[in-house]
Structure 1
């Protein structure tokens, strides 16, 4: 079974853009390693190495993530922010994540510190991109207090761990992929992978428990249509 191709091949690439896009989609959509994707492509008559798959994911994952960010509607003005520890080469780093009230990931940032300076850097990225929120919900980390007060003085800051369960759940996919990857190898790798992974999963993982079967199939069809459109926009 071969993957159909009807778009112009990318200059300098041996395989068609549909094959490259399929590999990127499969890697991010499912809990797969590059070796898994290599085998799935081989079953479809496409012989590539796992290193080639890794290069495709690194090079084009950002393209799809940028397209998704560009086209998504304005997020809800109620934000949830949280930070979780990740290990990189035996050292603690912190993954800062923000989502809106709908559960859509706004941004992530991998940093080596968990202090007011790190909190300000992350919150400033958010306000520059999305404007000031109406409500910000965080855990009881005091490092959030001054950055939120200075950058979004009108926002209602609610520091309560029990209110932040929705973002705690959003960390699960990161933990799952971290195990598959054998922990992240570098700060750059973690930032690059998670920035793309969260956005791609945003499109292909609608909240199924909130949808009936027909609505879910429509959402899935829309996601595939978007992916095809973004595939056509790929450039070498």
Structure 2
């Protein structure tokens, strides 16, 4: 697959600086000011507001390009929903992963009723371009009603103990939510989490299943992919 790097026309900073700042922000629980400080240590003077604009402009584009590089999703989907606080109000984050733990999609919604479940099912079918062999959920009744309407031919086991893979995938989001002291708007939460779920997991392989040399080799491959999709050619340095 060829390069899908976005256009950097009009930006005075080199792509290596832009892409590295975006990677730092979405990969680690850092604030924009902390990314600014890390870049200053390298001799690169960039304001936290500029980092924020880069993340808004390029984060989703990078996440989409990484998703296009992933293998076709597995045929067993795990769905789960958790509450998140947005401007002190309770909302719900819906998430789907396949049997390998790859995030298929996320959706922030006001409710966790049948209409919300139905909306998420349909969004998933559009995002993945197909339907699964099996969809695993907890015992929320809304899943069953939406399942019977949207994908009745798909097997649907519902049991909390079967859905640990989806539940575990919420943990990095919880970490970022705490670091950011919550989200300020539904749109902002959706934009951040959509990019975050496309970038961060790519740099968190299942380390406990690898030797040190295997992990280094895998990370080298993933960093090379990052350079390809962003157009970067090396480490960021001061101009």
Greater relative contact order structure (CA < 8 Å, 6+ sep): 2
Q: Extract unaligned runs of 5+ from structure 2.
A: 233-239
The residue that corresponds to 1:213 in the other structure is: 212
- How high is the TM-score relative to the length of structure 2? 0.91
Match of 2:160 in 1: 161
Q: For the Cα contact (< 8 Å) 1:127–1:151, is it kept in 2?
A: no
The alignment's C-alpha RMSD in Å is: 1.5
**Preserved CA contact (<8 Å) 1:82 1:138:** yes
CA offset digits 1:63-101 (Å, max 9, x no partner): 111101112111111111000000111111100000001
Deviation at residue 150 of structure 1 after TM alignment: 2.5
Q: Could you tell me which residue of structure 1 aligns to residue 29 of structure 2?
A: 31
TM-score under structure 1 length normalisation: 0.92
Is 1:139–2:130 an aligned residue pair? no
Q: Which of 94, 101, 106 is 2:104 aligned to?
A: 106
SS at 1:157 equivalent:
coil
Match of 2:66 in 1: 68
Counterpart CA distance in 2 for 1:175 and 1:52 is 26
Tell me the residue number matched to 1:41.
39
Structure 1 unaligned residues grouped into runs of 5+ = 1-6
* Rounded Cα–Cα distance in structure 1 between residues aligned with 2:131 and 2:115: 19
- Matched with 1:199 is 198
- The answer as to whether partners of 1:133 and 1:152 remain within 8 angstroms in 2 is no
